Structure 1
Amino acid sequence: MTLLSEPGTLGGEPVTAAPASRHRLLRRLLKDPVAAVSLAILGLVVLASAAAPLLTAHDPAGSNVAHALAPAGGAHPLGTDGVGRDVLARLLYGGRTSLLGTALATAVAVLLGVPLGLVAGYFRGWFDGVASWSANLVMSVPAIILLLVVLGSVGQNTYVAMAVFGLLMAPGVFRLVRGLVNAVREELYVDAARVSGLSDGRIIRRHILRVVQAPVIIQAVQILGIGILIQSGLEFLGLGSSGKASWGSMLNDAFGNIYTKPVLLLWPGLAIGLTVAASGLLGNALTDALFGGAAGRSRKRRSATPVKRSVGEDRPSSLPLPRLSGDELLVVEDLKVTYPKDDGETIVVDGVGLTVRRGEVLGLVGESGSGKSQTAFAVLGLLPAEARTTARRLVFDGTELGTSDRGRTRQALRGRRIGYVPQEPMSNLDPSFRIGSQLAEPMRRHLGLSRSEAKEKALALLERVGIADPARVYTSYPHQISGGMAQRVLIAAAVSCDPDLLVADEPTTALDVTVQAEVLDLMRSLQQERRMGMILVTHDFGVVADICDRVAVMQNGRIVEAAPARDLFAAPTHPYTRMLLDSTLEDSEPRRLLGTTGTEQGADA
């Protein structure tokens, strides 16, 4: 039996289920002979137990000592047991007891483990600590001892015993779900949902639960198999409900008559063995059907490249904030972002100050690790939970945003008045949902549109961003469109609620130069027609020259130079800016071919 080796892993690798409908999943299972046989066996066991009154007229508890250990045949197709009870009736009705008890244990484990795992993994904090400690405590308790104590206190009851068993299995489900949520909560498409203004509860229901449900189903099937064994063991030991037929109690009676009629062991043993084996094989088949035997898809998370400077180290003073003119849409002053480490903290953004006016494009430029993306994420409120953010001022259109990533003010503005265009188009679209669904949901939430109105506006937006067949793209999944088309979709999503500020984080990095130019033209035209303010995070001065009005250059977490784009290109003042400009290939001599002189190369040309 293949088990999930660690929470959120399959064979030690992260897993994420691919988008698959129930019909496609069923077709995959039926094409697998092992899965088809397992489903047939489990279906037969369930149907036979449910139809027990139709398949036998005998009372499973009715005994007739005169017919004890009667051979198979006649009124008793499988014979009778040691006290004259019909074996077939006890086998059929015993299936009811065993299956219902196991289903109860599975339901308790899932209903406790899934919600607690979702909350702990998504919100983390003190609840995660308390829940994880409690789960570890429950897992450390010897299961059989706890079951014996409970049964000794409340009396012998199969369903109480299985409910306690479900409680003991709940920490395993909790750890599985928590691990999965921890793995997916940093996904870029979850950030995109957060930026679109969706509440935490809606994100959990719509995006997180989709990832959790497949492994939980697999875990539940495996718990069913284990539960059959546990329940049968308790009944065999005589700790179940007295007077109720069950496969475990049939084994108990068969062992008492093992020398006189050993065939009595066959029927309950066969029922238990087939049910447990079918459950295990079905779990393996579900794993293959849902994950395709792969470890899932790779994830690109937000990462902070530490600035190589320790707290307390001398540094030049931050560039002063430009004089405010009163028409600023965004004002950031003395923004700092730090991450904890063993011997203190690491500074990634250090005293940044910037402004963005209405209708203005500000380019935030620097090398990888300069802190530009961390600055943008701090404005959006998308930094990881361990990041510590402080700012003297962080004001959007007169509203103080504060530095709490989960503040209600920030959440109300994201998606509605602050849009976001991410760097990786394919990673920011949830693979489980169609394009149209992901476009329409923020508009329905923020603009109060009906389903049909949101669809109409989404189709118009897709056409506006240059998609030739909006209707086809609207009904497509992300994997069915190209990277350039996905970036256009994300631009459409970012402007769908008519934001005042657009934050674009390296929006053309993953695109080829032809598509890059088209996307830049599109963003500039949308920005101008809607008079949005824009922060463009990039390392490409060519992009800056194409689209930006002002430029702020970042180095080691600080802004070292800020100027209008024309002035900065004409006369850069800071050595770092000059170094960046000198490192571009513009105005440099073309490289000669190896083994040729300049004269020969010119002649060839």
Structure 2
Amino acid sequence: MNAWRAVAGRPLGAICLAWLGLVVLACAGADLIAPHHPQEQDLSSVYSGPTWAHWLGTDQLGRDILSRVLHGGRVSLLVVGQALAAYLVLGCAAGVLAGYRRGLLDRVVLRLGDLALSMPAVVILLVVLAIFPHDESAAMITLGALSAAGLARVVRASTVAVREEPFVAAARVAGLSTFRILGRHVLPSVIGPVISLVALVAGSALLVEASLGFLGLGVQPPEPSWGGLIAEASQAIYRQPWLLVPSGGVVALTAVACAVLGDVLRDATDDRTSREPLSWRRMRTQVTRRPGEPPDEAAVLSVRGLSVRLADGTALVDDVAFDVHPGTALGLVGESGCGKTMTVSAVLRLLPPGAVVEAAEVRFAGQDLLSLDERGMSRVRGGGIGYIAQDPVASLDPLFTVGDQLTEAVRHHNRGATRAEVRRRVVDLLEAVHLPDPPGVMAEYPHQLSGGMAQRVAIARALAGEPRVLIADEPTTALDVTVQAEILDLLRELRDRTGMALILVTHDWGVVADTCDTAVVMYAGQVVEQTSVQRVFEAPRHPYTEALLAADPNAAVPGTRLPVLPGSVPAPGHWPDGCRFAPRCAFATAECAGPVAMTAEPMRGSYRCVHPRHGTTTGARR
């Protein structure tokens, strides 16, 4: 039911469901709603177009086309239903049994499936109709049986995966019978791809049935069927072309509706989208405006009290605040799992399904981002705030060339630009990121690029909308030292030339020292220290910052043991009460067990600690 509700909530899905429901109900109730008997003749109105007496016109004998379409649909839809029944029963039964039992049964089902898929379906249907003349039921059941081989393969693959799940093992341990396990635990888990395939096959079966009727191999006149009506319309194509519109139109629209519905059902039942979709309107109702420090009006991006939580209340990011000013760079620093990427994703509203946001303020260039709907936010992404993903190659579509992907981004942000203007802009972007031979790079696919080239292409795409803030998530990861330096030089050059602000998500202190003006250190979803880069290297206040700097290999003294920070970042939902760094901190006391608020120092920044450090670190220097 959740899948059907998801389908009905999508415009295309709702339209297709409405059309199919209307057609099925109208044909099922043809005896009640048809204005005339399908065989009733009106020789005074032969080949008439639509009139008040005959809404869809009449045929060569003056029979009402609307009535014949409704009664003919009852015949056509019935045999299509028979084909689907054979398809479902045989495909699901064979696939589930083969995937669950494996062994000899699995091999037999696969071989039989190969045999069925190799048979020419049209030839088989003609043989069946030669044995059972004009018996559409026999032909359509045969079609369903032949098509079931494809469904069996899909169901088998899904069943093989489901049978290894712990809940299936638990059902076996509980002593449930095989058929009960299959019906109650396995089938519901594989039903998603099944219902989408059924919709697609329904459209194909309808076209086959119409083809049989058109060729005169199905229901014989004067009994109406959709295929027979198309055949009659084709014979009068020069005298009354209108006849083909209602007869062919209803078949075409119904087949298209089935195909589109299958695609929508596939998306709605996919594991990634079958959950409740992330709706900013839904999230917006859960945003709380907590009293506190107002946003910095001089900042291009000002964030206050930003938190991200899952639907079950598990916090991923907790009360984050920072400001980014034009022409400056801010570094988000911390170990993996500290919430750095989740923080910038929350600003852009690119969160995983089920995540919700609470915030006091998220203000960009004077705009309150919390008040924007999804359409408004889409204008901010790319055009106001650019984003460079952590893995540049994975962020590029392998099916399209670099030129295609940059052209798409440029067109999105420059609607109305001519093809020549778009190409010139793409070349300018590639030149701006210092890629040699822009035309040659445009013709290449992502797999043909080196890591440094892919990172430059990702930067070029992020610059397509001329953003005022550029977020770079680990921009130098997996790059060699020389390329890292080139990328950092490029980012600094772009910042100085365009005046845009940078947010660098990193765990590399060298990147922070070379590029950033402000450092925001995060641990377990919280900001634990925020200060200037110069001060964070000279006199860090939080023990976690001091420990990270001391463990930086670039600052190690040759011949000495590198200090190691014991333990690891606790997972969300397992954060300790009070100071979250306390279990790993050498300076923790009983005072650290209570809530720890941020302490602000004028002209020095802020920190979250009851035992701030006062010495000078031995870590890296700028």
- TM-score normalised per structure 2: 0.48
Relative CO higher for 1 or 2, CA cutoff 8 Å, sep ≥ 6? 1
